Structure 1
Amino acid sequence: MPNPDETPAPGTILTNARIVLPDGVRPGNLHIADGKITTAAAGDEIDLAGRYVVPGFVDMHVHGGAGASYQRPEQACGAAAFHLAHGTTTTIASLVTGTPQELADAVTGLADLAADGMIAGIHLEGPYLSHDRCGAHDPALLRAPDLAEFQGLVRLGRGHLRMITIAPELPGALDLVRQAADAGVIPAVGHTEASGDTARAAFDAGARVATHLFNAMRPLHHREGGPIAAALNDPRVTVELINDGVHVEPAVARLAFAAAGSRVALITDAMAAAGMGDGDYRLGVMDVEVRDGRAALAGGTSIAGSTITMADAFRRAVTDLGLPIEDAARAASLTPARALGIDARVGSLEPGKDADLAVLDDDLRVTHVMKQGAVVPRARILGDN
């Protein structure tokens, strides 16, 4: 790859590559010019020696990494840079439940970073969640849907608030789902005790995502499918999946892919501990212990996000779930891009789209990353990916 400290050439040709496209893997060259994938370009020729080229990963649900949390906007650049170096070229910064003022401050700060292109938007995971399925959210801060508060957050987000997770069984939740959809904010169903009928009502009202399917939601039962069956059976709904081997075992993850196919979006749900190793951390106001790579609330058993990168989730989809590489790439890139409505720009290696990509070796480990045709300095790659 070219020296990242040098000014990029007008055009770049990645030669001798295995290019992972939505319909399969094609050996050949990838042409890049002016930060976009093109049908032809002149410039530097980079021999990839048969390595894979996959679309840059799109993580629609991530809380932090490299010791930094999106809950604190002053740390956000560090978290985004860490995940970028591991192949995540498009990041939606997720916030856990906080006080009204804490969320307002975080949304305001993150909107500035979104306007600068550091992140692609903001996801509110709460505060309108079920006490019974609160997971790593502080139950004392959970509250009923508040349309006025939500409208205020939309204004503070300045067009960068992209998604909000809601428990649809709460009073006024369906009204908030409708209002979010009307405001261009994707409503997601999660952290919920909803029945199947209530979940279906939310999807009919405009909800289009199931937040980390299986986790923090009423479990699947053969006489009451709940939100899981409702989401898997609805062709309008994208289902998030944390593929770290902790949140969802491989056999269950395979069932999700068998049922929902191209509607499964891999996410990390990563917290600040990603890339940092075992230790004690914070997620919002909650203390988290990471032991053997598993994050849990201090003194308890509730899982508190993950410690993986999207590169990890992608690789596990191939090696542990047995997905073809093109299906894993779709789940890590194109499906979340479609869910977010940005697939005209990112998510696949097609002419006219941003030259956001990751180069992988035969073990499917990231060796290089490009964003809009510029090489991401390898010095940013922290730890193993």
Structure 2
Amino acid sequence: MPSSALWSTILAVCLTIGIPTVVYVSLLGAMVAVPSLQAHAIYLHKVTLTWFKDLNVPEQFGFAHHQATPFHIRTSDGERLHAWHILPLGLYLANEAALLAQGPEAGVVDQYEKTLNFRLLRENPNARLVLYCHGTSGTMASGWRPDSYRALYAADPVNTHVLTFDYRGYGLSSGNPSEPGLITDALAVADWAMHTAGIPPERIVIFGQSLGSAVAIALVHELTHARRKPHEKVHFAGLVITASFSDVAKLTATYRIGGFIPVLSPVAKIEFLFNFFISRLHSTWNNIQRLGEFIRHAERHHVTLLHAEDDTDIPAAHSMRLFREAIRVADEQEGSNNTISLDNRIQARTETRGQGGTVTVWPTRKGDIRFELLKFGVHDKIMSFPATGAAVERAFRSVTLI
């Protein structure tokens, strides 16, 4: 009897550990063998989080009638992106009667350039625009994203518009996501903002959260790349990134979907196995390299990194790595011969704000590089916090100080 009980216990333990392990390893193997499965795991684009709601009815997500307008933007490779242009509340109220006179109907607008909303953006010489790149999973209307749009224009509710969009394969946008594809999407939206809406780049701030931070970094990197001639480079008012990561390889070693489901962390300590899996990644999003190159090749910049200490999805150490790389490159460019260690210099510039966290500002000849580590905000809520709107406002104001 004791022997039988022991074997039953061993069998139960083996099944409890073994079955999940087999399933986990099988899923990893499938993602290596089938690239489309890997894309689903990285981008989670079919997890919409807006089930039973209509993305063509922004009122369902807390916006006033005709405050947010759905329309489409075409990419250079033929995809159709679903986008929202959101009017700041003060501007909406000043034009409420005329906006409501456009009619009671809602839905996507085919000829957006003929609307009053578009004219309020294009014809205002003081108009500012936040180009918003959202994170993985969901749509532009999921979770805290609608609240974050309102936070972004809070500091200037008259002039600061928001342009948000779903990448290819997300929401109502066509296509399937990939790293080159999402960069193409961001380039198309920036082109629409500058050339169709007529907003000069110095009145545009690029904002990205989580995966969107990678898209935002790739966008500014592409438009200031070394291969571009000086007159071809595009410099926006600023770059604000929240809950970012250094690259997908390091991210997968720590990332837990929803803060609980591990990606590659169970195999991260087995070096050869971890290296095997990351060598098969089709999307690498090397943010640390791209941000460093952006700092090196841009003629001017204003960069803010925001992260929350209680972010269980992506540890704040990722944003600190990005910050360190940015200031390392800036130091290198400025020919700094400072013998004090970088860590000590960062510590000397760090201001403690009690329960508000810490702020480190690194001024350079080209502009400031700023890192704000909030104590609270987790992975998504931070987007709707005042720190985000303040970072955007600072970026816009930095242009007037040049």
What is the TM-score with the length of structure 2 in the denominator? 0.29
Q: Which has the higher strand share?
A: 1
TM-score (norm 1): 0.30
Larger Rg: 2
